[in-house]
Structure 1
């Protein structure tokens, strides 16, 4: 598979990239080289090869899930600059 100049320009437009006129040919060649390499990878026989889940055989060592006492609403609100009805009041930050 080989990309045409127009296809390279379309990919650039989709990626919101702008190329100088002299760069287009260079990027066309580079993209075609990448596609050529992918074609080589497609030729590799992967029948019977298990998918890679992790790059190492380590096992997650998670701590036990223990129920602990948490803050009450009143305790959590003690340091808040402003509260109302059990909720934090913060300044508006999106549009006006």
Structure 2
């Protein structure tokens, strides 16, 4: 399978992107390189490889998840740039 410039224009139209002719050519080449690489990966024998949830061991990178007491109301509002007695105050964004 190869990606043509017509395919790139179609995908750009779906994504509401305006691409120049040079960009269309560049994206078509890049997408074809990606597909060629995927074809090379398909040639690998992975029958003895156990499926993974993650490609790296996340246990060593993340802290243990443990329940702790929640912040008190006063502590939660302590660093707020603007707050009243109960809530954070934020600028109005809808007219």
* TM-score scaled by length of structure 1: 0.60
Structure 2: which 5+ residue stretches go unaligned? none
**Which contiguous aligned blocks of 4+ residues in structure 1 show a shift greater than 4 angstroms?**
63-68, 75-81
State the match for 2:93 in structure 1.
Answer: 94
Structure with greater helix percent: 2
Instruction: Quote the RMSD (CA, aligned, Å).
Output: 3.5
Aligned residues: 90
State the match for 1:82 in structure 2.
Answer: 84
Distance 1:91 1:57 in 2: 37
Structure 1: which 5+ residue stretches go unaligned? none
If you compute each CA radius of gyration, which structure gives the higher value, 1 or 2?
1
Structure with greater strand percent: 1
